[in-house]
Amino acid sequence: MAEEIEEKDENKLSKAEKKALKKQQKEEKKKATPKPTATPKPTPTPEPTATPEPTATPIPKPTEMPKLSASEIYETCVDSIVWVQSGIGRGSGFFIEEDVVLTNHHVIEGATQLYIIMENGDTADVLEVLGYAPELDIAVLRVDYKAEPLPFNTHGITVGEKTYAIGNPLGISFSFSDGIVTNRELIHDEAKAFLTNTPISSGNSGGPLLNSDLNLIGLQITNVYSTNEGIAIPTSKIWEFWELYTQ
**226 is a catalytic site residue:** no
Q: Which of 80, 86, 92, 137 is labelled catalytic? A: 137
- Distance between CA atoms of 225 and 166, rounded to whole angstroms? 20
Burial of 140 (0-12, 13-18, 19+ CB in 10 A): buried
Cα dihedral 108, 110, 115, 120 sign: negative
| Contacts of 120 by beta carbon, 8 Å cutoff, 6+ apart | 79
Closest CA to 65 of 232, 208, 214, 210: 214
**79 is a catalytic site residue:** no
**137 is a catalytic site residue:** yes
CB 144 within 8 A of CB 125: yes
Q: Which of 99, 106, 125, 188 is labelled catalytic? A: 106
- Point out the residues that are catalytic: 106, 137, 205
